[in-house]
Structure 1
Amino acid sequence: MQKKLSFRLFCPLGILILLSVHSLTFAQGAYIPYDRDYYHKIERYEILQGKTNPFFNTGYKPFRRDIVAQYLDSLAENPEVIQSKADQFNLNYLSQDSWEFSKREIPGSKKPFLKSLYRRQGDFAHYEGEEFGIHLAPVIYLSGGTETDNERNPARLARGLALRGSVDKKVGFYTYLTTSEVFFPSWVKDYAEYNGAVPGEGFWKEYESDGYSYFSALGHVSFQITKHIEIQVGHDRNFAGEGYRSFQISDFSNPYMFVKFNTKVWKFQLTNLWTQMTADVFYNRGRPTDGRYPQKYFAYNRLGFNVGKNMNLGFFSSIMTDKINFNYFNPFIFLRWVEQQQGTPDKVMLGIDGKWIFTPGMELYGQFALDEFVFNEFFEIDGEGSKRNKYGAQLGYKYINVLGLKNLDFQLEWNQARPYTFQEKVDYQSYSNWRTPLTHPRGANFREFVGILRYQPLPRLDLNLTGMYQYFGADENANVNWGGDVLKNRLENSPTGLFGNYIGQGIENRVIQSNFTASYMLKHNLFIDGSHYYRRRTAQDLNSPVSSHYLQLAIRWNFVRPDFNF
């Protein structure tokens, strides 16, 4: 019955979409994969100008290629943002990646390979016609390194391809396929063993007893329904907010199937996301096994809008449920109200995010995600440390061209989440996917400071120094729940009652970590990376601090630089 109802619902919708697309004349591009370094180059222009850009809302990622190309075209002759050779290089680099949508003349390769390959710097091969366009690029990542007190040297080999294009300039598509073998640094391996999942990936196999092997496949199709409404269907990740972390939805977990509507009218952008995620995984001897894994469903609505010329606010509501509920398919409804009418059976989050470019070159941003709210207990009038007041909060600051030094950018961010936030009392309703958190990698019951210094002294050279401090509470064992592990039931095995719950409860841990990376672009999207990690952890159950140095050298081609800052 449920399958028939689903077919009846989506069949007329599909016909409507096809008819609408058939009559459109708007250009349509695929989405640009989310990469923090890449997206920073786009977003810094907006901060330098001192005002929000009219083309897209940066509070929800990823961005569409054709819209980014329009934005870059508008900046080409703007001295406010093109202030150095590195700025001009970045503009040309970003434009080259989406050259087919630019109205400017984007130069091709000076020396194509065999006359037909690499005619464009970012495309191994391409064809661009009136009815059809396709762009193919190889994907390679090879890294090797050494870590103190680690018998296995961390290393990774990934290879694959990326394919994107459009049909009739109206339908955009993208696919990304890689296969990888990897030996992680010690703390990443510990994280993967604890969760039974590789961060950012799904099904994995054991590789040489202490490594991981996995296949990655991402892809989506996007098309315009009307001038202002667009739909995207795919298998990928999403990210909400302006920060390094997110308490709404982040790119940390495994890709998932989703349908997304984007409606942009005047200063408003409404994003509706419906997804199917993996609730749990079956294991045999500690490894994922074949079988139909339990599924769950996530609905998310965010309304973002510009306030004046230099401020943007976003209001969101989201809901996690262990079964399909058609009540959550209404894109213009307050999800908390709907869930309440159903007898409060599901996990609901509400919140706000925003940014304020208070002067050209400087931005304040933040998020607040609320799980449960009781006024007197929230302000500790009736009780301190209430378990019912669960929330995540973020506050951040960005400074572009620090002290007038071109292409030196600074970011400082504070994050915290109270114990038991993102957990739920019903199985398969926690904010997780494939056994990894859907928001912050630490889950909950933590405080964190992140500082990032980015510098581009030469057009092809990027330097990145990231520092991180975390204070969090951990569980002694699997039978105790202090509120940090989002996979646990919030009503089971909790040593505390309704009150007396504070961040850091359980086994106190403190982590200090730094990461310095130098990336040099040899050719378009072909990089050599050298990086050094230092990590030091102290905990109540450790006799002495555990520290390590990890030194790595890598070459990557059309591959997002891995991030081990968790």
Structure 2
Amino acid sequence: MRPILCILSLLTASILSAQSTDFTIGHPVYRMIELKEIRSEQGYSSTVKPLSRKSVYDFIGNEGGLYLSKELREYTADSSRSTVPILGRFFRYPADLFYYEDQTLDLHVNPVLQLSYGKTSDALGSTFVNSRGAEIRGRIDKKVAFYTMLTENQARYAEYINDVRDSTLVVPYEGFWKQYSTTGVDFFRAQGYIDFGLSKSISAQLGFGKHFVGNGIRSLILSNYSNNYPYLRINTETKIFDYTNIFAEQIAGVRGGSFGLEGTGSFQKKYMAFHHLNMKIKPNLHIGLFESVMYGDSTQGLKLEYLNPIIFYRAVEQQNGSEDNALVGLDFKWNIQNRVSLYGQLVIDEMIIGEVFAGDGWWGNKQGFQLGVKYIDPLGWENAMIQGEVNRVRPYMYAHEDGFTSYSHYNLALAHPLGANFTEYLGRVNYRLNDQWNFEGVLMVAGYGNDIGDVNYGRDILKDYTVRRPDGSGGSLEFGNSHMQGNKTELMIAFLRTSYMWRHNLFLDADITFRKESDDLGVIDNSTSIIGLSVRWNVPTRRYLF
């Protein structure tokens, strides 16, 4: 990341515009934004997340209700104080444990706490999460924003989550871990950034975290399923387009031991360069174009040519000898009649038009698409939303020759948790009764083609895509590949959650999960049910739908 830091030091010679911190991915405000955006048919660039508090305030203003006025107190100047502040200094305002403001500093300090327990039908019998930590955010001179969050965690997850951990050596959504007791894990969760303006329309953020690109339940471009990573994010906002650049350092692979990940030595690094252009065709119609490249090996470091924020990465990749993994694609969002929003994504890893229409199953036809719809206030049911989504990804998508160029980080997919070679259908109902009560139900039905023995049928994105199905003469099959080839596996997950906000951002959750998975060869045949209770304080929601 040294070249990035050098460039950043030059750009920060003049800090001109006011900055703000972001709403963490999974924050309750994102559901409020969806409803507001569809109802108003106004143009709001919400595809690349997390979103800044300032941009949310500029979009919603003072019409977000009591909850948002507390979350955006530095902009709304909400003056509602707690009736009985603790020791006269703590919880003077309901949204913050400690708050301080003067002409140069705006500071918010809050606890982070999660205590969860679940009763499961699998061999473990129960699950738990115990997280404690702190969150600090603020602004200096209203020009530089900062954020940091650190929690210490112990957890025992359901067996199907442990299966992912055992096969990838990584806990989903997390990073480095150690064994806790005999069936649990122990890990730190940390993220943070500084954010500052380079001009009136351009801002930069240097941090350690992750992103989500899309308007659906899933993302086929960039999701928050993997671990945090160091990054430089540059945003350019104009009236007709928004442009996002992300330059990130990633982990090519990790090493596991008897009691978690090995902490000796350094994990090998790789790099990602990503840009997304969101064009505002109409206030209610946005179309985005994106490109991403993953590169690295055991000897090379950051490539300066990929730091150009407006270059075509595929051309640079070819100039380098076509050794890197570049993806291109588009997304769209179309809000219609104040009730409906259509959205989608198309991602292309490799494609030759003649082979696509030839129908001969060329292995290099690597594409994925997403199509979804949101319908709000159905039958006059105010603040309710019904959502349907389909995701389809062909075999060998996101994979490359090794972990340095596969579209992965810390052994986990950077896009969809199912990897590749799958079709997925998702249905979701969400109802926000008021600031206190929220109800959600999600149904996932998916099918994917799994590997059979050591034969690579295209689902595992960490495997070398040059070693595929054998062709009978010592090579790999070039043609005759089909979607969901291999051991066809069916997966169904039903999830229900009721949340009650007892006080600001202190949630009491009750949820039920039912999961069933089976395959054609009889290797997998299991079902799991989980009934859980949770207390969350300044912790965003998270679903384990895989």
Give the structure-2-normalised TM-score: 0.95
**Contact 1:95 / 1:106 at 8 angstroms: preserved in 2?**
no
Q: Take 1:12 and 1:193, find their aligned partners in 2: how far apart are those partners? A: 40
Q: For structure 1, which segment, 549-558 or 61-70, has the greater mean C-alpha deviation from structure 2 after superposition?
A: 61-70
Residues 317-396 of structure 1: pairs in structure 2 closer than 5 A? 317-322=291-296, 323-379=301-357, 381=358, 383-396=359-372
| TM, length-normalised to structure 1 | 0.92
Match of 1:507 among 479, 487, 490: 487
- 2:394 is the alignment partner of 1:418: yes
Deviation at 1:497, TM superposition (A): 1.0
CA drift at 1:299: 0.2
Closer, same or farther: CA 343–163 of 1 in aligned 2, 3 Å: same
Equivalent residue letter for 1:474: N
Q: CA, structure 1 residues 36+413, in 2 after alignment: closer, same or farther (shift >3 Å)? A: farther
Cα deviation digits, residues 362-399 of structure 1 (max 9, x gap): 100000010001111112x2x42211110111000001
CA distance in 2 between counterparts of 1:61 and 1:212 reads: 28
Instruction: Measure the CA separation in 1 of the matches of 2:176 and 2:88.
Output: 41
Structure 1 equivalent of residue 51 of structure 2: 63
The 1:123/1:313 distance shift into structure 2, 3 A limit, reads: same
What is the CA-CA distance between 1:562 and the residue it aligns to?
2.6
Once the two structures are superposed, residues 484-533 of structure 1 have per-residue CA deviations (whole angstroms, 9 ceiling, x without a partner) of 11111101253461112222211111011100000000000001000000
- 2:54 is paired with a residue whose SS is helix
Pair 1:528–1:72, CA change in 2 (3 A): same
C-alpha contact (below 8 Å) 1:70/1:101 kept by paired residues: no
2:539 is paired with a residue whose SS is coil
Is 1:20 matched with 2:14?
A: yes
- What is the CA–CA distance in structure 2 between the aligned matches of 1:243 and 1:349, rounded to whole Å? 19
Q: Partner of 2:528 in structure 1?
A: 548
Q: Residues 266-322 of structure 1: CA distance to partner in whole angstroms, max 9, x if unpaired?
A: 221110110001111122237311221110000001110111221001000100001
One-letter code aligned to 2:251: T
Q: Which stretch shifts more, 275-284 or 135-144?
A: 275-284
Q: Which amino acid aligns with 1:403?
A: L
1 CA distance for matches of 2:286 and 2:517?
38
Q: Distance in 2 between matches of 1:485 and 1:200?
A: 18
Distance 1:149 1:12 in 2: 52
Tell whether 2:41 aligns with 1:47: no
Residue ranges of structure 1 left out of the alignment (5+ in a row): 77-89
1:282, 1:291 within 8 Å by CA — same for their partners in 2? Answer: no
Determine the structure 2 residue equivalent to 1:447: 423
Q: Partner of 1:473 in structure 2?
A: 449
Letter in 1 for 2:271: Y
1:420-447 Cα deviation digits (max 9, x unpaired): 0000024411011001000000000000
Query: What pairs up with 1:524-563 in 2 under 5 angstroms?
Result: 524-542=504-522, 545-563=525-543
- When residues 304 and 280 of structure 1 are mapped into structure 2, their CA distance, relative to the original with a 3 A threshold, is same
Report % sequence identity: 33
What is the CA deviation profile of residues 4-49 of structure 1, one whole-angstrom value per residue up to 9, with x for unaligned ones? xx56x754641441x211xx2x321111111164312122201011
In 1, distance between residues paired with 2:259 and 2:88?
51
Answer yes or no: is the 8 Å Cα contact 1:365–1:396 preserved in 2: yes
Return the offset for 1:460.
Answer: 1.0
Superposed, which structure 2 residues align to 1:15-414 within 5 Å?
Answer: 15-17=10-12, 19-21=13-15, 24=16, 26-35=17-26, 37-53=28-44, 57-73=45-61, 76=63, 91-102=65-76, 105-285=78-258, 287-289=260-262, 290-322=264-296, 323-379=301-357, 381=358, 383-414=359-390
Asked whether 1:492 is paired with 2:467, we answer: yes
- Partner SS state of residue 107, structure 1: coil
C-alpha deviations, 1:65-99, integer Å up to 9, x for none? 1221232216x2xxxxxxxxxxxxx6321221121
Q: 1:27–1:110: structure 2 CA closer, same or farther, 3 Å change rule?
A: farther
Q: 2:516·2:528 contact (CA, 8 Å) conserved in 1? A: yes
Determine helix, strand or coil for the equivalent of 2:116: strand
Change (3 A) 1:544 1:491: closer
Displacement of 1:160:
0.3
Which amino acid is 1:483 matched to? G
The 2-side partners of 1:443 and 1:91 are apart by 39
**Counterpart of 2:473?**
none
The AA in structure 2 aligned to 1:206 is Q
**Match of residue 517, structure 1, among 497, 515, 522:** 497
Tell me, in whole angstroms, the C-alpha distance in 1 between the residues paired with 2:5 and 2:514: 51
Question: 2:432 — aligned with what?
Answer: 456
Question: For structure 2, which runs of at least 5 residues remain unmatched after alignment?
Answer: 471-475
In the alignment, the residues of structure 2 paired with residue 166 and residue 472 of structure 1 have an alpha-carbon distance, to the nearest angstrom, of: 47
For residues 101-154 of structure 1, the C-alpha deviation after alignment (integer angstroms, 9 at most, x for no partner) is 22x544232332222110111110011111111110001000111111323411
Tell me the amino acid that sits aligned with residue 22 of structure 2: Y
CA distance in 2, matches of 1:105, 1:183: 40
CA contact (8 A) 1:72 1:91 kept: no
User: Contact 1:72 / 1:95 at 8 angstroms: preserved in 2?
Assistant: no
> Helix, strand or coil: the match of 1:115?
coil
Q: Give yes or no for contact 2:128–2:157 (8 Å, CA) kept in 1.
A: yes
Residue range with higher mean Cα deviation, 362-371 or 417-426: 417-426
| Cα 1:237/1:427, change in 2 over 3 Å | closer
Tell me if the contact between 1:176 and 1:217 (Cα under 8 Å) persists in the aligned partners.
yes
SS at match of 1:20: coil
The structural deviation recorded for 1:212 is 0.7
- In structure 2, C-alpha distance between the alignment counterparts of 1:12 and 1:388, rounded to whole Å: 37
**What is the total number of aligned residue pairs between the two structures?**
536
